[in-house]
Amino acid sequence: MKKTGIIGCGWLGSKIADSMSGKYQIYTTATTKDKVESLSAKGFNASLAAFPDFQLEKKIEEWSEIKDVDILIITIPLSGKSCCASSLYNRIQHFFSFIGDFKGQMFVMSSTGVYPDMPGEYAEESLSPDKVPGERMVRNKYPQANILRLAGLMGDNRLLKNYNVSNLDAPVNHIHYEDICRVIERMIERGLEGKLYNVASPQHPSKAQVINTQKNLPFPEEAMADGKIILPSKLMSELDFVFKYPDPCKFH
C-alpha cells in the first residue's frame, strides 16, 4: 500500500485524508495537539508541525515520516497573495526544511485568488507560476510539484448562505471538496507531475442564485453582472475529468 503524506490537515486536508483512507497509508500533520489526537484516533499517523512566518534560531527538523512517503499533498497556504514577501519566504523555507529533498509525486493546493480581481475569463495560461511567488519558489525546488489552483472551497457544512456576502449579482467560482479529492485521485492514478490546473466547477451562477437555492427561495431572474470567471477547461480535457458537482447551486 502506497504511503501518502498530507501536510496541513485542516478542513480540506481532513476531507482528502478521509477520501484516501483504506486505499493508502496516511501520514498527516496538524498544528494542535487536539487535532493530532483526533487524526490519530481515525487511524492516521499524525505529527505536530507548524510553519511560522518569522525566522527561527535553528532550522525546523525534517519530518521523520518523509522517507516513507510516496505522495505528498500540501494544503498549507503557500501562494502568497495575502502575505508579505518576507513572511512568505520564512514560511516556505521552514516547509522546505520539513520535507527535505522529497522526490515523490507532490500536490500543492494554491488558490484561484492569485488571478487579478477584475472581470474576465482566466485560464492557467493567464498567469504563469513564475509570477506567483509561492508557486515559483516551490516549483524551483521541486519541479515535479503539481499546482492545483482551487476555487472557493464548498460542500458539507460550507454553504454560501452562511456567510456575509456582497455583490450578489456577481458570478461565483466554487469547487466542491469531493471533486478536489477526485482530481487528486485521477492524477495519482496517471502518475502526473509538474502540472498546473484550475480546479473550479464549470458553471458560474450568481451569488444570489446560489444563496436563494440553498434557502429554498425563488430563483432570481435578474441579469448577472460581469465578474471573474475561472476556467477548468484544461483540467477537463487533459484528465477527461467530469465533475460530480458542476453546478454550485446544487452543492448542498
Q: Which strand (E) or helix (H) includes residue 214?
A: helix 207-214
H or E stretch at 148: strand 145-150
What separation, in Å, do the N-terminal and C-terminal C-alpha atoms of the chain show? 34
Structure-block grid coordinates of residue 76: 498549507
User: Within a domain: residue 71?
Assistant: yes
Domain that holds residue 54: 3-160+174-202+232-245
Mean pLDDT score, 191-220: 93
Handedness of CA 7, 11, 12, 16 (dihedral sign): positive
pLDDT digits (tens, 9 = 90+) for 101-129: 999 999 999 999 999 999 999 999 999 99
Sign of the Cα torsion 117, 123, 129, 135 reads positive
State the pLDDT confidence band at 224, using cuts at 50, 70 and 90. confident
* Residue 166, phi then psi, degrees to nearest 5: -110, 175
Cα four-point dihedral sign 87, 90, 93, 94: negative
Q: Is residue 144 part of a domain?
A: yes
Name the least confident of 4-18, 37-51, 116-130, 212-226. Answer: 212-226
What's the mean pLDDT in 22-26?
95
Give me the pLDDT at residue 80, please: 64
Convert the pLDDT of each residue in 135-173 to its tens digit. Answer: 999 999 999 999 999 999 999 999 999 999 999 999 999
- Across the range 73-83, mean pLDDT stands at 80
Mean model confidence pLDDT for the chain: 94
Q: Is 219 a domain residue?
A: no
Q: How would residue 78 be classed by pLDDT, with cut points 50, 70 and 90?
A: confident
Total domain count, the chain: 1
Q: b or e along 26-35 (b: 16 or more beta carbons within 10 Å of the residue's beta carbon)?
A: bbbbbeeeeb
- pLDDT value at residue 242: 98
DSSP codes, 70-114:
SEEEE-S--S-TTS-HHHHHHHHHHHHHHH-S--SEEEEEEEGGG
Residue 216 domain-assigned? no
Is residue 215 one of the residues assigned to a domain?
A: no
Q: With the C-alpha atoms ordered 118, 120, 121, 124, is the resulting torsion angle positive or negative? A: negative
In a domain, 20, yes or no: yes
What confidence category does residue 81 fall into, taking pLDDT thresholds of 50, 70 and 90? low
pLDDT of residue 83: 62
Residue 252 lies in a domain: no
Rounded Cα gap, residues 87 and 238, in angstroms: 35
CB atoms under 10 Å from CB of 21, counted, come to 14
DSSP element (H, E) containing 133: helix 133-141
* CATH number of the CATH domain containing 23: 3.40.50.720
**Cell output for 203:** 458553471
pLDDT at residue 104, as a whole number:
97
Q: Are 201 and 174 in contact (CB under 8 A)?
A: yes
- Is residue 125 domain-resident? yes
pLDDT (0 to 100) of residue 219: 73
% of the chain beyond a pLDDT of 70: 97
pLDDT digits (tens, 9 = 90+) for 208-220: 999 999 999 987 6
User: What is the structure's pLDDT at 52?
Assistant: 87
The answer to whether residues 204 and 171 touch, using CB atoms and an 8 Å cutoff, is: yes
